[in-house]
Amino acid sequence: MRHRISLCALALAAVVVAGCGSSGSDEPDAARSPSPGTTSPADLCTTIITKWARKIYDSGDKTYGDYQSMALSNGQYTILRDVLDAARAERSRESAASGRKLIDHQVRKRCAERYRDGGPSGGPWT
């Protein structure tokens, strides 16, 4: 539960920081580019799934955990499970380091695909 609260607080802080303040420009907010500190949905997806995938992979745990306590959507949890399955298979074939490299590559690729059009349309938890 502590992880979920921390991640929710981080996400809320990012939204508040990105949405507050004025640059003093006469341009309307919509005409300005996002602040350099704004994290894209694909990058946020990559960060959170990679964190959990590495933690589970390195622990040797055979289970996946509860997606809600990880602050993951159902779609993000599917990415986590698929990537962990592939990384475990890679570890069996090659090495633990090879499995970790697969996690980094596959999570980045899958999150980019998932958010290439801005995000899923079935609600925030899909």
33: left (phi over 0), alpha (psi -120 to 50) or beta: beta
Give CA–CA dist 1/65, Å, rounded.
Answer: 12
Predicted TM-score (pTM) of the model is: 0.66
Domain boundaries, the chain: 43-59+66-118
Give CA–CA dist 23/16, Å, rounded.
Answer: 15
Q: Give the pLDDT of the chain (126 residues) as one tens digit per residue.
A: 555 555 555 555 454 444 444 445 454 555 555 566 788 899 999 999 999 999 999 998 888 788 888 999 999 999 999 999 999 999 999 999 999 999 999 999 999 999 988 776 665 555
Give CA–CA dist 82/80, Å, rounded.
Answer: 6
User: What are the tokens at 21?
Assistant: 């303040």
